Amino acid sequence: MAVSRFLFADQLGPHFDDGGPLLMVEAVGVLGRHPYHRAKAHLILSALRHRVRELGDRVELLHAEHYRDVLAGRDLEAVDPTSWGARALVRELGARVLPSRGFVTSEDEFAAWAQGRPPSRLVMDQFYRHVRTSTGLLMRGPDPEGGRFNFDHDNRRPPPKGASGLGLPDPYRPVEDDIDEQVRADLDRLEAEGRIRLIGQDGPRRFAATRAEALTALADFVETRLGDFGPFEDASLLGDDAMAHSRLSVPLNLGLLHPREVIDAVVAAYHAGEAPLQSVEAVVRQIMGWRDWVWHLYWHLGEDYVRRSNHLDAQTPLPREFLELDGRTVRARCLSHVLDEVGRTGYAHHIQRLMILGNWALQRGYRPAELTEWFTNAFVDGTPWVMPANVVGMSQHADGGIVATKPYASGGAYISKMSDYCGSCTFNPKKRLGEDACPFTAGYWAFLDRVEPRIRGNHRMQQPLAGLRRLVDRDAVVEQERTRTQW
Ligand SMILES: Cc1cc2nc3c(=O)[nH]c(=O)nc-3n(C[C@H](O)[C@H](O)[C@H](O)COP(=O)(O)OP(=O)(O)OC[C@H]3O[C@@H](n4cnc5c(N)ncnc54)[C@H](O)[C@@H]3O)c2cc1C
Ligand code: SF4
């Protein structure tokens, strides 16, 4: 019998298919392992079933509780999968394993670049420059297009004053079909039977689950949002959940789109004079820089990176509002809005993840490993490989400075400047003491007070720590936040 290529549910695009016989497995036990957001479980099943329908008799679809139940004893090959667990599985099954795909740079290329560099010298920006230079993307000979590798400095615009949104057309949304209807019914049944546990609300599918939808979403992004992507990358508005973000992480992480396709499309728009360099460079950096970077770090930092990382000794369990994605009783407008959005859709854009959810968790000392699992389960684009560097490293500083050189903590003033959240909030971003003291502003000082002994040696934290020492009401603020019940 011919060797079959076993495709995982995040290997769905043409770049995982070399033309031979294919095998896919719908394993309910995998869905039942964690309390996933309903929209995420829906996307995975919908994408897998759509791919099976497209491939017709080229693919054998098996149903099982666990992969092993139906794969043991088969003659298999696999493109190296995307989690430690899945890699162990394909090896245990004796599959022929091909190098991983779906990223701009190969694992060998990263290994060669990282060789001899201690963890403290693994800097994303340097890796990004290396990849720009080696691919020649956005380069003019040896020099970066526009004279700089990074246009972030031009990209920190607050949202337009008084606007409720950026005024862009609604982002592309797929139209559901019979497969989605069946997926919804199956999820209802599995949940009723107690075989899976779901969080978040049901609703029409918002993200691409087929190759055709992914290409349409990409074209729509380039046409309607790319130009504003750079300038408003860090801004948030209550009336605009998409802002100028691409919402392409789902099809990228399902393997429906290759990252080079996105990069080539935005670079082509730049060369055609249809998009500014500051936006195009920003997209290229997010994908070829950050996305590849966190992928390689997942392997490079080791299987126990999440478990062993708690540099700031964060020991608070996640509260009910996070676990149930319920912002209704949260008074902090920024936090309640983002929690509700995640509950409704399974998505929030980058700055909401980093500066609202991550910042809050950092200040309140939520356990990094628990938070990583929460993000992975609650977000439609959450995967085992994408979360560790983003959550443990970037947003929680729990690795002590490998991914980010300082904790991403900020008070209400930053949130107030970069969003319209504070205008309708019961708290006041300028106040750190009293009934209406902003829990982010006061929380920022209480956080610095708590972690001061552990970050004292960080030269980038000297200025904030000097501010903390000058705070006349430091003890009162710390006590207020220690006993805070309303947030
Ligand atoms: C706490 C936290 C949790 C995150 N969780 C996820 C996650 O579950 N899945 C996920 O894919 N990304 C995650 N990210 C990274 C980033 O926030 C999302 O990729 C992005 O918000 C997805 O929305 P978008 O497609 O509209 O992105 P855009 O803003 O349009 O960016 C374009 C693309 O760049 C890539 N990208 C940008 N930043 C990153 C990054 N830091 N890491 C990896 N890829 C990046 C994504 O593929 C994204 O689709 C997280 C970041 C933080 C700080
Ligand atoms: S005042 Fe504070 S809690 Fe309220 S929205 Fe602004 S930052 Fe958030």
pLDDT at 1 > cutoff 80: no
Total domains present in the chain:
3
Q: Quick one: which of 240, 221, 275, 245 has its CA closest to 167?
A: 240
Q: Which amino acid is at 286?
A: Q
Indicate the SS3 state at residue 26: strand
Q: Which of 50, 72, 98 is the last residue of a domain?
A: 98
Q: What is the pLDDT of residue 121?
A: 80
Does the CB atom of residue 421 touch ligand 2 within 6 A?
A: yes
Residue among 338, 422, 436, 445 to mutate when testing ligand 2 (max atoms within 8 A of CB) = 422
CATH number, residue 461? 1.10.579.10
> What is the span of the domain harbouring residue 13?
4-98
Q: Which helix (H) or strand (E) holds 89?
A: helix 84-92
Q: Which of these, 401, 346, 351, 348, lies nearest to 378 by C-alpha position?
A: 346
350 CB less than 6 Å from ligand 1? yes
The answer to whether 14 and 51 are in contact (CB under 8 A) is: no
The tens digit of pLDDT for each residue in 56-101 reads 999 999 999 999 999 999 999 999 999 999 999 999 999 999 999 9
Whole-number Å distance between alpha carbons of 210 and 88: 28
CA of 381 to the centre of ligand 1 (A): 8
Same domain (yes/no): 151, 74: no
Same domain assignment for residues 244 and 368: no
| One domain for residues 249 and 120 | yes
- Give the number of whichever ligand sits closest to the CA of residue 387: 1
Q: Output the residue whose Cα is nearest ligand 2's atom 8.
A: 334
What pLDDT is attached to residue 53?
98
The DSSP letter of residue 104 is: S
Residue 155 pLDDT exceeds 90 = no
CATH number of 270's domain: 1.25.40.80
Task: Express each pLDDT in 118-142 by its tens digit.
Answer: 877 889 999 999 999 999 999 999 9
Residue closest via CA to ligand 2's atom 2 equals 438
Residue range 39-59, pLDDT digits in tens: 999 999 999 999 999 999 999
305 lines ligand 2 (CB under 6 A): no
Q: Where are the beta strands (DSSP E) in 65-127?
A: 76-79, 96-98
Residue 44's identity, in one-letter code, is I
Phi and psi at residue 129, to the nearest 5°: -60, -40
